Amino acid sequence: MTTAREIARRVNDGASAVEELERSLAVITERNAELNVFLHVDEEGAYAAAEAVDRAVAAGQNAGALAGVPVALKDNMCTRGVPTTCSSKILEGWRPPYNATVVDRLLAAGAVPVGKTNLDEFAMGSSTENSAFGPTRNPLDPARVPGGSSGGSAAAVAAGMTPLSLGSDTGGSIRQPAALCGIVGVKPTYGSVSRYGLIAFASSLDQIGPFAVTVEDAAVLLEVISGHDPLDSTSLPEPAFSLLSSLESGVAGKRVGLVRELVAGSDEDVERAVARAADVLKEAGATLVEMSIPELTLGLSAYYLIAPAEASSNLARYDGVRYGLRIDADDVASMNEATRTAGFGPEVKRRIMLGTYALSAGYFDAYYGQALKVRTQMIAAFSRAYADVDFLLGATTPSVAFEFGTKTKDPMAMYLNDVFTIPTNLSGDAAISVPFGTGEANLPVGVQLLGPGRSEPTLFAAARVLEKAEGR
Amino acid sequence: MALPEGWEMVVGLEVHTELKTATKLFCGCENAFGSEPNSRVCPVCLGLPGSLPVLNERAVELAMAIGIALHCTIAPSTFHRKNYFYPDMPKDYQISQYDLPINARGYLDLPDGSRVTIERAHLEEDTGKTTHLGGSGRIHGADRSLVDYNRSGVPLVEIVSGPDIRTPEQARAYAAELRGILIATGASDGRMEEGSMRIDANVSVRKSGDPFGTRCEIKNLNSLRSLTRAIEYEALRQIDVIEDGGTIRQETRHWDEVAGETSTMRTKEEAEDYRYFLEPDLVELAPEQAWQDRVRDGLGPMPAARRATLAALLSDPQPAQLDAIEVVVDLSLDDYVHAAHEAGADVAIALARAANEIAANIDGRANLTPSAFSHTVLMEQRGELSATQAKTVLGDLLTSGGDPVAIAAARGFEQLSADSLADTVATLIVENPDEWQRYREGDDKLAQFFIGLVMKATRGQANGKAVIAELQQRR
């Protein structure tokens, strides 16, 4: 498959963006019925964007770093006039009157948003099985899940439908599906990418990030979408990342933490991949430091209080009054209740109840308050580790892609899928998942590189070292 | 008002004031009253999915101005979410300040010398406005409910007093003084009738010297009159309950202006659990000292200082004049009085004319320049206009502006020439020899008799003081 870098290069040199789009649409047409990747393909908007790029190039302008590159958007990012559902019946048919900041930045860079991809409802899940519009299938093995919650966006890239896509990562929702689909996925430092227009799941954890086949493509996309946004108060006062310039700078002289808790409990094939990645980094000149960060094991419990607590508040607005689904009833309170009962799926309801309980008078200190303390400890623990090493190495997920239905009966088993990814969301730091070898059933394994806030240049360079070792 | 012997009321007030910013608290929508419903809205103040709040800098300045005027400490503060479902709240949570307000621990001194402590003055967003059609006009039993989100996201400051108020009069004085401060800081226009200042009262009663009793919170107090009536009603109600052997339940009560009584809205047991938690979409608000100093330096004098300045212009202020000063400061008419004083006019006359004539047509203020006002007062003082004529001239100025001399001329209020007045007085003395004799012998009451005759003869154009001067000269 052609990389985004290559497409942008040739479109800026005069190749047709419309033709690039048509290639993308052809793959979507061929595979979407089977894989259920796109909930909505916005052909009209995509053609308009591609034609605008072609006009700009014809007029002698540089059409941008992503000129003519088709991009898929997770369906929790607002697109003006284009349905945005969060894979929930409660938002079915809603068309936002505005674009998320990332969408405007993509358009400004010449990218061509082709449509909206499937996700676990409101980004709550790790398999895309929680979508109200059916699960997405893993392009590498349609009997298996693509991971989640950004399963649609990961599958779009893995299936060659689009060279790039955007997901959102609240507890691993980019890195885990990237690992399961065999592509690159990045959870940027909290505040690096604007959340304006990203429909909130857990505001203090959510972060938009890229999916790509190559590390370089992921870098271009992150350069385009990152940088301060005055519309997001939690946006860092920093310019966009500069990643490409240091992409080949390697890991010589870097200290890498090999963290026991970031591999523990993994399948053997995953453990082997991480060990091999460590060897590659060492051969490339890095120093390996074996370490333990016991606080990381508390992450899952803290996450499943903090994220549902914020979600219970963020999802209150879906009350049937202003937009989306409304089930009429005798009075307002009954209408609210009927609408929410019909509109939300079981996992969303479970988390709203968990979160409401965790914030309730009399329970707040024991649950939410306690979770915040754990979060503070987690931040301190990472910060101690990063005082010693430049970045950490671990697994992204404990196993390769699993088959449908194997974890849906047991929420805890599903939640454990995010045990290695959640800590980075709690600390607000950066992490990247890179495909590194294969495991069971010849399915891809992802390894994870974790670094302190704004360490993306280091992480991308290290990811590039691993990628090269895989012959890519 | 008097409570039964031995009883005392304990009152604390929560005053919500809308801030007079150009835009809303968290978005760029215009902050204006009385527009087409749902015309001043955007994704943020409608709480659309994906939208995020960005704090309005001007709202923070006005909140700090209020805090400074109330002698509060400005501290690093945070925003929380107050979660509850209501159709006029677009996000089904309100962004408000909770355990760390921007302003804390201040006080307000009242004209009577008493001091009311201020516990906090914090920032929060207003909700939309629901209109219930059919049924009782409340949400339950209504046929339809219509929501206007123009008010949604309008910046509010909630000012919470300590439980220091002991009479309805003091509550009124506190609310009036606070209103003056809000206007003086530029934070609010203080228009209670438009809802830009709303009051809730926490009322309890106790036997003097006892610990505080159980309090009830009275909602819906939209005028100073409602405030005093509701507090008085509520205190008497609570005393009745206790004297009949009952106990007061902590609850929220609704004030019915027409019936003149409070009734239960919800009891403590029915109170919502708001599940407050730190608003993750906003960051800490910690205004640096330099910013606080700029706000402090930009503040003009507060009402108490302005009253003192005006009183200092009088050698021996009389109660009526102090009342006039209160009205003048309350209506921000100080400039007129100061202009008249600087023009050499009599401050007592200027105060009276401002507190009565301008106050009676306050909306006409835009037509009346301080210089035209000063000139009119001077004309009255010099006897060129009678008091009645001066009031008429001011009335015309307030209605349509203009030049007081021209208005007096057009009205036929031309000064009765001194010669003409002397001739009239001379003629009347000759025509009324008996009365003149008695006046000469010291019966001052007869001055009024002659003034009446002069007025009749001149069809009211003479100045009473000038007539007396003329009579005394001839005595």
Tens digits of residue pLDDT in A430-463: 999 999 999 999 999 999 999 999 999 999 999 9
pLDDT given for residue B142 in this prediction: 73
Q: Looking at CA atoms only, how far is residue A215 from chain B in angstroms?
A: 28
- Average pLDDT over chain A reads 97
Out of A281-290, A454-463, B2-11, which region has the weakest mean confidence (pLDDT)? B2-11
Write the ipTM: 0.96
Q: Does A121 touch chain B (CB under 8 A)?
A: no
Nearest by CB to A313, which of B48, B54, B81?
Answer: B81
Cα separation, B213 vs B203, in Å, equals 9
Tell me the C-alpha to C-alpha distance, in Å, between residue B61 and each of A347, B74, B293, B311. 44, 11, 11, 31
- Average pLDDT over chain B reads 92
Under an 8 A CB cutoff, do A200 and B50 touch? yes
Q: Does A249 touch chain B (CB under 8 A)?
A: no
Check pLDDT > 80 for residue B137: no
Out of A1-5, A59-63, A156-160, B219-223, which region has the weakest mean confidence (pLDDT)? B219-223
Check pLDDT > 80 for residue B459: no
Cα separation, A200 vs A91, in Å, equals 13
Q: What percent of chain A shows pLDDT beyond 70?
A: 100
Q: Give the orientation angle of helix A17-35 with respect to helix A43-58, to 10 degrees.
A: 160
Phi, psi (5° rounding) for residue A186? -125, 130
> What are the strands, taking DSSP E only, across A105-145?
112-117
Number of domains present in the structure of chain A: 1
Q: Looking at CA atoms only, how far is residue B154 from chain A in angstroms?
A: 18
pLDDT given for residue B270 in this prediction: 78
Q: What is the CB neighbour count within 10 angstroms for residue B457?
A: 15
pLDDT given for residue B416 in this prediction: 63
User: B83 contacts in A (CB within 8 Å)?
Assistant: 312-313, 316, 359
pLDDT given for residue B387 in this prediction: 86
Residue A25 lies in a domain: yes
How confident is the model over B48-72, as a mean pLDDT?
Answer: 98
Q: What is the chain B residue with the closest CA to A205?
A: B280
Q: What percent of chain B shows pLDDT beyond 90?
A: 72
How confident is the model over A90-95, as a mean pLDDT?
Answer: 95
Residue A300 lies in a domain: no
Cα separation, B244 vs B264, in Å, equals 19
Q: CATH number of the domain that A36 lies in?
A: 3.90.1300.10
pLDDT given for residue B17 in this prediction: 96
Residues 6+ positions from B310 with CB-CB distance below 8 Å: B325, B328, B329, B334, B337, B338, B347, B351
Q: Does A94 touch chain B (CB under 8 A)?
A: yes
Active site includes A149?
A: yes
Tell whether omega for the bond before A149 is within 30 degrees of 0, i.e. cis: yes
Q: What is the dihedral of CA A101, A114, A15, A186, to 10 degrees?
A: 60
Residue A396 lies in a domain: no
User: B283 contacts in A (CB within 8 Å)?
Assistant: 233-234
pLDDT given for residue B424 in this prediction: 86
Cα separation, A256 vs A389, in Å, equals 6
Check pLDDT > 90 for residue A80: yes
Nearest Cα to Cα of residue A321 among A100, A90, A67? A90
Q: Does B277 touch chain A (CB under 8 A)?
A: yes
Residues 6+ positions from B108 with CB-CB distance below 8 Å: B70, B71, B115, B116, B118, B161, B174, B177, B178, B181
pTM for this prediction: 0.91
Residue A322 lies in a domain: no
pLDDT given for residue B190 in this prediction: 86
What digits encode the pLDDT tens for the residues A107-134?
A: 999 999 999 999 999 999 999 999 999 9
Q: Is A447 helix (H, G, I), strand (E, B) or coil?
A: strand
Q: How confident is the model at residue B274 (pLDDT cuts 50, 70, 90)?
A: very high
Q: How confident is the model at residue B196 (pLDDT cuts 50, 70, 90)?
A: confident
What digits encode the pLDDT tens for the residues B78-105?
A: 999 999 999 999 999 999 999 999 999 9
Phi, psi (5° rounding) for residue A232? -120, 110
Under an 8 A CB cutoff, do B43 and A96 touch? yes
Q: How confident is the model at residue B294 (pLDDT cuts 50, 70, 90)?
A: very high
Q: How confident is the model at residue B54 (pLDDT cuts 50, 70, 90)?
A: very high
Beta-bridged to residue B144, according to DSSP, are B133
Catalytic residue (choose from A87, A150, A168, A173): A173
Cα separation, A56 vs A47, in Å, equals 14
The alpha helices in B261-383, defined as continuous H runs, are 289-298, 303-311, 319-330, 334-342, 347-353, 359-360, 370-381
Cα separation, B110 vs B176, in Å, equals 9
Q: Does A234 touch chain B (CB under 8 A)?
A: yes
User: B52 contacts in A (CB within 8 Å)?
Assistant: 195-196, 231-233
Catalytic residue (choose from A24, A131, A149, A226): A149
Residue A225 lies in a domain: yes
Residue A453 lies in a domain: no
pLDDT given for residue B337 in this prediction: 96
Under an 8 A CB cutoff, do A233 and B92 touch? no
For A13, the domain range is 4-246
Check pLDDT > 90 for residue A221: yes
Q: Which amino acid is at B325?
A: I
H or E stretch at A323: none
Best B23, B42, B52 residue to mutate vs chain A (most A CBs within 10 Å): B52
How confident is the model over B306-316, as a mean pLDDT?
Answer: 94
pLDDT given for residue B235 in this prediction: 97
What digits encode the pLDDT tens for the residues B333-391?
A: 999 999 999 999 999 999 999 999 999 999 999 999 999 999 999 998 888 888 888 99
Out of B28-37, B127-136, B288-297, which region has the weakest mean confidence (pLDDT)? B127-136
For residue B189, give both structure tokens: 């226009």
Q: What is the CB neighbour count within 10 angstroms for residue A394?
A: 27
DSSP code, position A164: E
Residue A129 lies in a domain: yes
How confident is the model over A343-368, as a mean pLDDT?
Answer: 97
Residue A267 lies in a domain: no
pLDDT given for residue A108 in this prediction: 98
Best B25, B51, B89, B268 residue to mutate vs chain A (most A CBs within 10 Å): B51
pLDDT given for residue B415 in this prediction: 60
Check pLDDT > 70 for residue B1: no
pLDDT given for residue A398 in this prediction: 95
Cα angle for residues B377, B380, B386 (degrees, 5° grid)? 140
What digits encode the pLDDT tens for the residues B404-433?
A: 999 988 888 866 666 778 888 888 888 889
